[in-house]
Amino acid sequence: MDVIQVEGGHRVAGEVRVEGAKNSALKLMAATIMAPGVTTLRNVPDIADVHVMGKVLKNIGARIEVVNAHELRIDTSQVDSWETPYHLVAQMRASTAVLGPLLARFGKAIVAMPGGCNIGARKIDMHILGLEALGVEFTVDHGNIHAHAPHGLVGDTVTLSFASVGATENLMMASVFARGTTTIDNAAREPEIVDLANLLNEMGAKVSGAGSPVIEIEGVRELVPVTHEVVGDRIEAGTFLAMGALVGDPVTASGFDPRHLGLVLKKYEQMGASVERQERSCTVWRDRPLVPTDIQTLPFPGFPTDMQAQTMCLLALAKGSCVITENVFESRFMFASELSRMGADIVIEGHHAIVHGVERFSGTQVKSPDLRGGAALVMAGLVADGLTTVSEIHHIDRGYEGFVEKLTSLGARVTRASVPDDEDAPL
């Protein structure tokens, strides 16, 4: 079993360059299904989830050439299957991203129900309701979603009850080949949505309004392969910038657009951190005590749920109390119980976390509950007394490339080690 061990109390400062966005790269890879031929994706993160998506595409007939660690050439000209294997797609919730492209190309799809982090239900009702409006018929059998458009896809207006990223992406991709015009109302506005729309338009689609609550897609007959660079990962950047707010010394994240972290950075300034924004980088440091600030997660441009755990780590050391409200994933507070093992004072009441600041964390054995929670536990170990050992780090591997190496480059005393499953392992 691999663990990450952190020795607290050492100076952490410097600059890291973030990779391409996980939440964009996976959807861009899925979109290549719709453009038979060789599409080249650059700035792709070398992480576990990308490897899983690559296996999904290979399973349906795609060929993938790894040009280097961050560039993929995906040949989908020989894709001849519309069924994805359960053992792969059950590993991550982004698996449903292949539903729209398969429907667009073949008019049918069989996709396993999604898996991934244990952060709450993966209801795909909005995906199904939206696609039904375009003429898709669904049945669910033995954990698989069977989708079929017997009369082809037809454009329509779809109003989402929640600005779901996954539903917006699936509808965008499915409607590219639909007859007529599709309008997505209350669409998700995340930067990753814009990145997907940019790729589709480069391929020949007619998508307008991405980044706003209303997206229109005018159906086209075909898409062609292109070369595209994945947008920088705002969540990886936010994780390292949160470390600057935590340890005090300046930490710079480069390779992303700070505007994609607009509300996060404003909240960190309210909490007592200093923020310097550049065009493609940002630096955060702190020279005064952390101030408690209420947080509530919401779809973009609101506070991202993917930055909630890292921010809870900060607020757990603030001088006073505050409330964090989780509006996106109902089980994302599992991280709080692990942070409490390190000395945090957090009370969970439904989808609210009441955080009472403490003076310090104590190093101990903790278990990563999910991707972002795992990274936040390593982050907490940077300022904890003694040694912190984080297990279940396969979650961290799903979304952070070279996490230990990047921390080490900042001066952190962090190592990755293998320990026996039956002894010396965190409970």
Q: Is 358 annotated as a binding residue?
A: no
59 marked as binding residue: no
Q: Is 367 annotated as a binding residue?
A: no
Residue of 117, 282, 313, 322 marked catalytic: 117
**Strand order across the beta sheet in which 137-141 lies:** 108-112, 144-148, 137-141
Residue 23 assigned to a binding site: yes
286 is in an annotated binding site: no
How does strand 206-208 pair with strand 2-7? unpaired
Q: Is 322 a catalytic residue?
A: no
Annotated binding residues for UDP-N-acetyl-alpha-D-glucosamine, written as ranges, equal 93, 306, 328
Q: Pick out the residues of the known binding site.
A: 22-23, 93, 306, 328
Q: Point out the residues that are catalytic.
A: 117
Residues in binding site for phosphoenolpyruvate? 22-23
